[in-house]
Structure 1
Amino acid sequence: MSVTTYPPQPTLQFLRDRVNHHLERIYADVDEFEISPQLGDELLQIMGISDDVCEAPQHRNLWDQQDVFVICYGDSLLAGHDIPPLEVLQHFLETHSDGLLGGVHILPFFPWSSDDGFAVLDYSSVNESLGTWHDIEAISERYDLMADLVINHCSSRSLWFQNYLQGKSPGKDFFYEADPDADLGAVVRPRTSPLLKKVETVNGEKHVWCTFGHDQVDLNFRNPEVLKQMVSIIRFYLERGVRVFRLDAVAFLWKIPGTSCLNLEETHEIVRLLRVLIEHWRCDAILITETNIPNRENLSYFGNANEAHCVYNFSLPPLLVNTLITGNCNYLRQWLMSLPPAQNGTAYFNFIASHDGIGLRPTEGILSDREISALIETMEAFGGRVSYRALDNGVQKPYEINISLFDALQGTVHGKDSLGMQRFLCAHAIMLALEGIPAIYIHSLLGTRNDYARMEHAGHNRAINRHQWDYGKLETALADPDSDHCKVFEGIKRLVAIRREQPAFHPNATQFTLQLGRTLVGFWRQSMDRRQSIFCVSNVARKARKLALSDLNLIETDQWVDLVSGEALEDIRGYITIEPYQTLWICN
C-alpha cells in the first residue's frame, strides 16, 4: 500500500471530546468499577497523542488495486534450527513474490499456550521460536504488516490470569466472572466446551467466562484498566511497524447475561474508540474486524465509515466453494447482488481460505440445511473434517469445514475428477476480480494439501490446513514446472500481476452483477474515473459453455481483449466458448 501522510492539525480538544463521547457510551451502564473523568486524557497520554494531532479523513481510501495480502503463520516455512522462521518468511517474500504481494498478515507471533497462537501469554513479546522484534520490524519496513490484536481473551497461563487468581495487579479484575445460575442460555459462541470455568482464587471460588475454551479466558472490558492495557499494547505495535490491526473475535467482546453477548452496542463503541485512537497516531493505519457471523451482522462493523476500515467477507469462501462443486452460481450471484457497495474509506477484505476453516455461519439464510449437508458430505469425501458449535438446547451444529482449499476443489458433488487445478485457479480468479482487497492464504498460494499428520499431532481439526513447509523442499517443488505447487504458484502470481495493473480492480471501483445463467459467474467492474471497464466471466461447470457477447453490451467503438489469455475479441456480436473453469477478464 502506498503510504499517505497528512499535515498535523491542532485538533486535540476535538479529539478529546470524541474520545470522551465514546467512553460515556461504553461505560454508561457500568457501576461495579469507578470510571475516572480523566480516563479519556489517560488514553491519549498512553497513546502519546499531544498537541499535534494527525487527522485522518474519514472517507479516504487507503488502498488501491495493487494491494494483495498473504496470510501465514510465523513458522509456516522452516529452514532448520539455526535460521529464525520469520527470517525464512522474509526471504520467501523477497525472493518469490516479485513485488506482487504488498501486505503480509502474520498470525499471532507472540508466546502462546494453545490454539496455535490465539491463547496469548505475553502481548509484548515475540515467540522466541519464531525470531525477535527485529525480524518483525524488518518485514514491516518492506511490507504492510497486519498483526492480530487478540482482544477478547488471553491464556489461562498468562501473568495476567495468574495475578487474577492471586488478587494482584496487573490482572486483578481483568477477567469476566459470571454466576453459573445466571440466564446464559441465549449466549452465542462457536464452541461446544462449557462456557464457564470454575477456578479457585484468593477471594474464593469463581466462574470465569471462556468463549473459545478453558485455556482462553475472556477479558473484562467493563474494567477500564483492561482498556488502558489494550491501548498500551496498540501503541507498542504501532511503534514496531504494524499498520493493519486485525481485531480477533471482537464480536464477543462485551457481555450482558440474558443476551446473546454478540455484537452488543458497547462492542461497536469500543471499535469506534480504538479507530479514533489508532488513526490519530498513524493516519494510514487500518482496522479490520474478524467476525465470523451471518452476513448482515458482519456488515454492521463498517458503521458509518467510523468503525472498521475493512470487514472480512466471510460469506465468500463457503459460497464460492459451493458454487464450484455444484456448478450452480445462483446463491453466489444472489449474495453478490445483496452486497452494498463499500463507502469510500471502507472496503471488503476478501479471502477464500484461511488458517481456520470454511465457516458455515455466514451461509445462514442463504443456503438451506440440505445444501449445507451436501457441501459437508462432499468436503468429507475429499478428506475434510467438521468442527461444531453448541446451541442453547445442547444440540451441536456444524460451525466450519476444515480442509485445504486445494483438496476442497479436487472434484464436485459427483466425486473427484481431473479438473482440480482449473477449478482452484478459477476460484482465485473470481476472488481477485471482486470488489475489495484480496488476501491469499499461504497454503493456497503454494497448493498445499491436507496435513493429516499435523492434525493428529495437534489434536484439533484446524491443523489440517496449517502445514509447516521444509523450505528446501518447497524451493525444489517451486522449481519443478511439473509439480502442482509450481503450477498453482505461477498461476496465482500471473493473475495477481494482471490485477495490479487494472484501475477497474480498485477495491472501491464500481461492481455490477451480471445475469448469465446458473453456470457462468459474471460481474462488471468500472474504474473510479470511468475510463476502464472489465467484464469478469467464469465458467463454474464441468462442461464448456457458450457466452453470447451481446449479453455483455460491449461498446462497439472500443477494442476489447481478454486480459487472462491476451486474445482480442474480433466480433463482439458473436459467441465465445468458455472452457470448464476458465475465466475471462474482458477489458477495453
Structure 2
Amino acid sequence: MAVKNKVQLITYPDSLGGDLKELNNVLLKHFPNVFEGGIHILPPFPSSGDRGFAPLTYLEIEPKFGCWDDIKAIGQHSDVLVDLMVNHISRQSIYFQDFLRKGRKSEYADLFITLDKIWKDGKPVEDDIKKMFRRRRVPYSTFTIEETGYVERVWTTFGKSDQSEQIDLDIKSEKVRQLLTDFFVNFSKNQVKIVRLDAVGYIIKKLGTSSFFVEPEIYEFLDWIREMANSLKIELLPEVHAHYATQYKLASKGFWIYDFILPYTILETLFNKSSAKLCSYLKVRPSKQFTMLDCHDGIPVKPDMDELIDTSEARKVVDVCIERGANLSLILSEEHKAKDGFDVHQIRGTYYSILNCDDDAYMAARAIQFFAPGIPQVYYVGLLAGENDIESVEKSGEGREINRHNFSILEIEKSLEKEVVQRLLKLIRFRNEYDAFQGIFTVLDSADDEIHLIWENGDMYCTLFIDLKTNKSLIDYVDEIGNKVQYII
C-alpha cells in the first residue's frame, strides 16, 4: 500500500451534509475525482466528548453518522484515513466502565495507568509533574470504585474536568496491544488504508522526563505498531506536535510526518511580504510529509515553531490574527513557555478569515502548500473558503468551534458559487494531474518579496511564481504536446 501523491480532504463525518451517506453523495456529485489522495474522516466512532476524540470503541460507527458500509462505500472511490487515539479511550467505554465497577478485579484494569504504575506508592510528586509537558493542570483524574468505595487515580493527559472523558491507555500492557491489534484488523476489513496515530507523543510516561516523546521507548512502540499495520497493508501517520527536531527523527526512521511548520510560515510570509524564511525552510525540510494549512484544531505555533520564530515577531503575527477574529490555545506548563512568556500553542480560526478573506492571498497560500513536497490535505472549511464561526464559539464556549462549521447541502452549493472555491478546485485538479509533481522539486532564487518554485520530471515542468506585493500567483508549465502554458491561479 502506497500513499498517493495527490490531494486529500479532511472532514468530520457530519460536516458535509450531515452524515456519512450524504458525505459520499456530496463527494460523488460535487467533487468527483477531486480528492484523489483520499478522504480523512475525523473520528466517526461512538464518542463521549471532544467531537469524536474520546472514542468508546473503534469497532462501531456512531449510528447517527451511519455504519461501516458507508465507510466502505467511500472507500470504493477514495482511500480512507481515520484516526486512532492511541493515547486514550473514553471514560464511557465498556473497558473503563467495568474498571469503575470492579476496580483492580476488572479484566480490563491493566489497560489503564493507575498512579502506582508511575509512583510506587501511588502518590503524585509535584516536582515530577512540573517537568511534564501537560495539556491539563493535573495529569490524572480521581474516581471512586463502585463495589469497594476505593479511590483510584488514573492518568488522563487530556480533558477539561477532574474526571476526564479521555482515559490514558498503558501501551506497555499486552492487553492494550491486543486491543489495538483488534481495532486495526477491523479497519482493514472495512477498507481503511491509512491510520493517523493521534496523540502518539504522549504514550510514554516516565519520571524525570517531560513524558512527551520519550526516547528510546517511543520507538519500540512505533516499530511494533508499524509492523502490525504493515501486515494489514495499512499506512501509518504519527501525529506529533513538537520541536521540528522530533519530527525529523521520525522522518529519519521512515515514518510519514506532518508538516506543522508550513501553516505558520506561510502566514508569516504573506503578512510580512518576505519569502526568505519560507524559501530557506523549503530547501531543507523532509519530503515525506503530509501538509496542511488549517484543521479541526488550529495553526500550530508552540512547540512546533520553537527556535524557528522570534517571539516578539510572532506576537505581531498573532495580534493580526486576533484582530481578524481568531482565538488562541495556550501552553499551560510554565517550563514550556518561551522565556519572555510567549505561550501561544495554536491560533484558531479559518485560514481564509485569518488572511482577511483576500482571495489572492488565500490562493497564494494554497499554491505554496501544493508545491511543497508531500501529500496536501485540505480541510473541509478551507475547501469552501469558510469564515470564522464566532456564533458557535459563543454558544459552545469551545474556541475550536470557530473552524468547525457543519455545512448543509444548501450551504455547500452556495459555497461552490464562490469564485475562490472554483479557483481552488482548479488548482487541486492541476496538482493531482500534472506529472511534474512526481519528479524533482527545487526552490529557485528570487527577490525577498517574491517566491519562485519548480517541479521537473523528464520533459515536464511547472514553476510557481508569487508576487508577495500583490499576492498574485502564476504557474508556467509545458503541456503534453510541448506547448508552454501560463496558468493564472
- TM > 0.5 fold call: yes
AA partner of residue 188 (structure 1): F
Given that 2:3 and 2:235 are in contact with CA atoms closer than 8 Å, whether structure 1 keeps it comes out as no
1:494: which partner in 2? Answer: 426
Secondary structure in structure 2 of the residue aligned to 1:273? helix
Matched, 1:184 2:129: yes
Q: Does 1:289 align with 2:259?
A: no
**2:383 pairs with one of 422, 432, 445:** 445
Alignment correspondent of 1:173: 110
SS of equivalent to 1:208: strand
1:432 offset after TM fit, Å? 1.1
CA distance in 2 between counterparts of 1:261 and 1:501 reads: 43
- 1:147 is displaced (CA, Å) by 0.6
Q: Distance in 1 between matches of 2:437 and 2:108?
A: 47
Instruction: Give the superposition deviation at 1:543.
Output: 7.4
| Aligned residue in 2 for 1:48 | none
Q: 1:393 to 1:266 in 2, by over 3 A?
A: closer
5+ residue gaps, structure 2, are 116-122
What is the alpha-carbon distance in structure 2 between the residues aligned to residue 124 and residue 259 of structure 1?
34
Equivalent position amino acid for 2:420 in 1: V
Report the Cα distance in structure 1 between the residues aligned to 2:209 and 2:414, rounded to whole angstroms: 54
Residues in 2 aligned to 1:159 and 1:392: alpha-carbon distance in whole angstroms: 36
| Local SS of the residue matching 2:314 | helix
Q: Which moved more, 1:316-325 or 1:172-181?
A: 172-181
Given the superposition, is the C-alpha separation of residues 110 and 63 from structure 1 closer, same or farther in structure 2, using an over 3 Å criterion?
closer
CA deviation vs aligned residue, 1:417-459 (integer Å, no higher than 9, x gap): xxx0111111111111121111100111101111112222332
Q: How does 1:444-523 map to 2 (within 5 A)?
A: 444-478=382-416, 480=417, 486-506=418-438, 509-523=439-453
Q: Which residue among 223, 226, 249 is the counterpart of 1:272? A: 223
**Which position in structure 2 is the counterpart of 1:68?**
7
Is the Cα–Cα contact under 8 Å of residues 445 and 488 in structure 1 kept in the other structure? Answer: no
Partner amino acid for 2:250? Y
Instruction: Tell me if the contact between 1:68 and 1:438 (Cα under 8 Å) persists in the aligned partners.
Output: yes
Residue 199 of structure 1, CA deviation: 2.1
- C-alpha distance in structure 2 between counterparts of 1:275 and 1:487, whole Å: 43
**SS at structure 1 position matched to 2:487:** coil
Letter in 2 for 1:496: I
Q: Gaps spanning 5+ residues in structure 1: where?
A: 5-61, 80-84, 412-419, 481-485, 566-582, 584-588
Corresponding letter in the other structure for 2:379? Y
Q: Deviations over 1:393-438 (max 9, x none)?
A: 5968211011011101117xxxxxxxx0111111111111121111
The structure that has the greater radius of gyration is 1
Answering whether residue 311 of structure 2 is matched by residue 357 of structure 1, we say no
Q: Matches of 1:292 and 1:131 in 2, distance apart?
A: 31
Following TM superposition, by how much is the alpha carbon of 1:500 offset from its aligned partner in structure 2, in angstroms? Answer: 2.1
Structure 2 CA distance, aligned partners of 1:563 and 1:544?
A: 13
Instruction: Please say if 1:434 is aligned against 2:383.
Output: no
1:254 matched to 2:204: yes
| AA partner of residue 522 (structure 1) | H
Residue 207 in 1 paired to residue 142 in 2?
Answer: no
Look up the equivalent residue of 2:71 and give its one-letter code: I
Match of 1:78 in 2: 17
- Compared CA separation, residues 224 and 377, structure 1 to 2 (3 A): same
Relative distance call for 1:517 and 1:476 in structure 2 (3 A) is: closer
The alpha carbon displacement at 1:203 in A equals 7.9
Q: Residues 86 and 559 from structure 1, CA distance in 2 versus in 1: closer, same or farther, beyond 3 angstroms?
A: closer
Please report how far the alpha carbon of residue 170 of structure 1 lies from its aligned counterpart in structure 2 after TM superposition. Answer: 4.5
CA distance in 2, matches of 1:270, 1:175: 16
Residues 499-532 of structure 1, C-alpha deviations (whole Å, 9 max, x = no match): 22222212xx3222223122112222222xx333
Give the aligned partner of residue 125 of structure 1.
60
* Identity, % of aligned positions: 26
Residue equivalent to 1:408 = 354
Q: Secondary structure at the match of 1:363?
A: coil
Give CA-to-partner distance per residue, 1:202-247, whole Å, 9 cap, x none: 4833322221222212111121111111111111111111001111
CA distance in 2 between partners of 1:451 and 1:423 (Å): 20
Distance 2:247 2:223 in 1: 15
Alignment CA distance shift 1:181-1:304 (3 Å): closer
Match of 2:454 in 1: 524
TM-score, normalised with respect to structure 2: 0.89
1:560 CA displacement: 7.2
How many angstroms apart in 2 are the aligned matches of 1:458 and 1:256? 35
Per-residue CA deviations over 1:557-582 (Å, capped at 9, x if unaligned) read x97734424xxxxxxxxxxxxxxxxx
Aligned to 1:297, the other structure's residue is in SS state helix
CA–CA distance in 2 between the matches of 1:74 and 1:226?
Answer: 27
Q: Using the alignment, how far apart are the partners of 1:393 and 1:367 within structure 2?
A: 18
Identify the residue that residue 371 of structure 1 maps to in structure 2.
313
Superposed displacement of residue 391, structure 1: 1.7
Distance in 2, matches of 1:477 and 1:301, equals 38
Task: Quote the Cα distance in structure 2 between the aligned partners of 1:532 and 1:142.
Answer: 28
RMSD: 2.5
Give the secondary-structure state (helix, strand or coil) at the position aligned to 2:463.
Answer: strand
Does 1:116 find its partner at 2:51?
yes
Q: Secondary structure of 1:162's match?
A: helix
Contact 2:9 2:40 in 1 (8 A): yes
1:278-310 per-residue CA deviation (whole Å, 9 max, x = no partner) reads 21222xx311111121211112222432xx2x2
